[in-house]
Amino acid sequence: MHKILIVDDDQTHRQMIDTILRKDGYDIYQADDGDQAIDNVQKQFFDIILMDIRMKRMDGISALKAIKKLSPSIPVIIMTAFSSVNTAVDALKSGAYDYLTKPVDSDELSILIKKVLHLNQLEKENVYLKERLGKTFHFKNIIGNSAAIQPLFEAMTLSSPTDATILISGESGTGKELIANAIHENSPRKDMPLIKLNCAALPESLLESELFGHLKGAFTGAATNKKGRFHLAHKGTIFLDEIADMPLSTQSKILRVIQEQEFEPLGGTQTIKVDVRIIAATNRNLKEAVQTGRFREDLYFRLNVIHLKVPPLKERSEDIPLLTEFFLKKFTQKNKRFIKGLTPKGMDILMRYDWPGNIRELQNVIERSVIMSRGDLIEPDVFPEPLKKLYQSSNENRMALNVGKSLKDMEKEMILLTLKKTNGNRTHTADILGISRRTLQLKLKEYGVH
Ligand SMILES: Nc1ncnc2c1ncn2[C@@H]1O[C@H](COP(=O)(O)OP(=O)(O)O)[C@@H](O)[C@H]1O
Ligand SMILES: [Mg+2]
């Protein structure tokens, strides 16, 4: 129900308004001066305040200013005697929403209140929409605007505030870890730790000791008690990277943590209870790993509740210019270089390369280029080998169509270039050019090529 506060030192008038609005179904509060009004606003949220402008103790304008300071978005409607419309204008200047002349007409009052509430609702929806829209792109430092990345941002927005277990899959270098960070940062657990562990980096026994901890003497070399990562992540989030590489026996222990939120440290019998959110990542196809028996099916289902698939960079090449700009800024600042951007050729190559190392590779290419460039524009000749090759082959395969050449010259150039590309294979060359082998022979003879 909407709450309205009526502020007026004239008790009869106050009561009259109270009666009108109560009939319209609002929850009405009364105050008989500005001080009392402020006191009320300090204690609860009102949807509208109706306030007399001339009151004995604190006048309406001062009260209005004080209320706006406390709660800038409350619409305040001023009530004023017809003779003091000038003061009403002052009130509007001080932030009043509108004014009514006294004695207040009941229809006019009802309509104005409805209008204000309606507008207020629209405004709220607008703010909410903006927040949501803003949020979609508000994963700090995760660059991307392509259609291919939108479903991912949407899913991140929806799942971040929850406790749901999340599986992130995607090729190496696509940003899985960055996404895990962002999810934690946008969750209610953000002030608690985010603990990471790469499951592929450790042999089985060490992996379990890292995950669950151990007591002194649990195995040779366990010289002290050590808390596990799950223990350290209590109330926070654990990020299990390369989960497909986890041995089957460890997988069953992880399953138990997900289901029961408990485990025992190595060499211990005491069960440790934790409250941990799990985010797992993999660059392999987990489903396939299930089919070949390398991954537990039940764990797969537990992890797969929310599955964020990160597209490879080649499927979102529209994002390359944006990412390039972002990395350029980062590395020119870091290396104190002044570089404006890339030459069109340079950009063209970035767009055409297939980026097997994804965003990590792009980032490395830009950093290297920033360091290696002599001018203020990055030229393709500072690119590493695989990209440079793309540049060279694109040059070799192209001939310039400069005005000023005769058709005959162009024909010759075209024939010789094609012959070079086919390593001198005449049948193949004739095929490509769409002429007979005999015609090709004649032309070559004419050029003096035997
Ligand atoms: N969308 C992105 N915007 C900016 N930087 C990114 C983005 N995705 C990945 N990166 C950067 O690329 C590198 C690799 O990302 P990372 O999260 O480690 O990938 P993965 O875990 O999938 O191998 C990191 O330095 C990361 O900051
Ligand atoms: Mg990674």
C-beta of residue 113 within 8 angstroms of C-beta of residue 4: yes
Which residues, including other chains, have CB under 8 Å from residue 153's CB and lie 6 or more apart? 136, 137, 139, 142, 144
Residues 17, 156 within the same domain: no
In this structure, how many other beta carbons lie within 10 angstroms of the beta carbon of residue 262? Answer: 12
Q: Whose CA is nearest to atom 8 of ligand 1?
A: 175
Looking at the structure of the chain, the number of domains it has is: 4
CA distance 229 to 197: 8
Q: How far apart are the first and last CA of the chain?
A: 96
Residues 296, 185 within the same domain: yes
CA distance 74 to 4: 10
Q: Which amino acid is located at 175 in the chain?
A: G
In a domain, residue 140? The reply is no
In this structure, how many other beta carbons lie within 10 angstroms of the beta carbon of residue 323? Answer: 20
Q: Whose CA is nearest to atom 12 of ligand 1?
A: 360
Which structure tokens are listed for 287?
A: 């489903």
Which structure tokens are listed for 103?
A: 């004695």
Residues 225, 173 within the same domain: yes
Cis status of the peptide bond prior to 193, with omega within 30 of 0: no
In a domain, residue 142? The reply is no
Beta strands in 113-253 (DSSP E): 166-169, 194-198, 213-214, 226-227, 237-241
Residues composing the chain: 450
Question: What is the pTM assigned to this prediction?
Answer: 0.63
Q: Which of 322, 360, 365 is the best mutation target for the ligand 1 pocket, counting ligand atoms within 8 Å of the beta carbon and taking the most? A: 360
CA distance 87 to 417: 88
CA distance 214 to 152: 38
Give the burial string for 164-179 (b: 16+ CB within 10 Å, else e). ebbbbbbbebbbbbbb
Per-residue pLDDT of the chain (450 residues; tens, 9 = 90+): 889 999 999 999 999 999 999 999 999 999 999 999 998 888 878 889 999 988 777 788 889 998 888 777 789 999 987 667 777 788 888 888 888 888 889 999 999 999 888 887 777 666 555 544 544 445 777 999 898 999 999 899 999 999 999 999 999 999 999 999 999 999 999 889 999 999 999 998 899 999 999 988 888 888 888 889 999 999 999 999 999 999 999 999 999 999 999 999 998 888 999 999 999 999 999 999 999 999 999 999 999 989 999 999 999 999 999 999 999 999 999 999 999 999 988 998 999 999 999 999 999 999 999 999 998 999 999 999 999 888 777 666 666 677 777 888 889 989 988 988 888 899 989 988 999 999 999 999 998 887
**DSSP single-letter state for residue 405:** B
CATH number at residue 86: 3.40.50.2300
Distance from the alpha carbon of residue 425 to the mean position of ligand 1, in angstroms: 45
Residues 153, 285 within the same domain: yes
Domain boundaries, position 423: 407-447
Q: Whose CA is nearest to atom 27 of ligand 1?
A: 178
Residues 363, 286 within the same domain: no
Q: Note the pLDDT of residue 134.
A: 46
Residues 301, 156 within the same domain: yes
Atom of ligand 1 nearest to the CA of 177: 17
CA distance 22 to 203: 73
Q: Note the pLDDT of residue 415.
A: 92
Q: Which of 145, 359, 364, 365 is the best mutation target for the ligand 1 pocket, counting ligand atoms within 8 Å of the beta carbon and taking the most? A: 359
Q: Note the pLDDT of residue 138.
A: 54
Residues 351, 302 within the same domain: no
Residues 217, 156 within the same domain: yes
Atom of ligand 1 nearest to the CA of 144: 1
CATH number at residue 438: 1.10.10.60
- Ligand 1, pocket residues at CB < 6 Å: 141-144, 170, 172-178, 323, 326, 359-360, 363
β 27-31/48-52 pair status: unpaired
Q: Which amino acid is located at 211 in the chain?
A: L
Q: Which of 143, 178, 334 is the best mutation target for the ligand 1 pocket, counting ligand atoms within 8 Å of the beta carbon and taking the most? A: 178
Residues 220, 199 within the same domain: yes
CA distance 426 to 318: 40
CA distance 7 to 215: 68
Q: Which amino acid is located at 269 in the chain?
A: T
